Amino acid sequence: MIDDMEVIVFKVITASGIAKGLAYKALDKVENRDFKGAYKLLGEANEYIDEAHEIQKGIIEDEVTGNAIEISTLLIHAQDHFMIAMEVITMVERMIKLYKIIYKEVDEENNKLHTT
């Protein structure tokens, strides 16, 4: 584990922020019916979340082995970013499923829902 806690915290914030941004970009792709592009971006988002999770896991392992760190507002802020990014990814994944349903039901020519 890196000794400088500020560096660790900012790595979590950065990775989480990038992950969240990629998830929103994936949603933009879906709105333009680019499901392949959306899934690619979600894959990248999950790689960044995994990076943040590994850092978080290291902090927890340090505490379990008796090397607890001082809880700071900055660490709490980093955890907030991490949790929000995970939830955004989950919601975007669910929204993609909804878009798939909606796009099947839309009459492209008239831009209306099928009634049958």
96 Cβ neighbours under 8 A, 6+ residues apart: 26, 27, 30, 35, 38, 39, 42
Catalytic residue among 53, 77, 81, 114: 77
77 is catalytic: yes
Q: Which amino acid is at 52?
A: A
Which tokens sit at 96? 């993609």
Using CA atoms, how far residue 19 sits from 43, 67, 70, 96, in Å, is 9, 29, 26, 16
E strands present in the chain: 106-107, 112-113
Catalytically active residues are 77
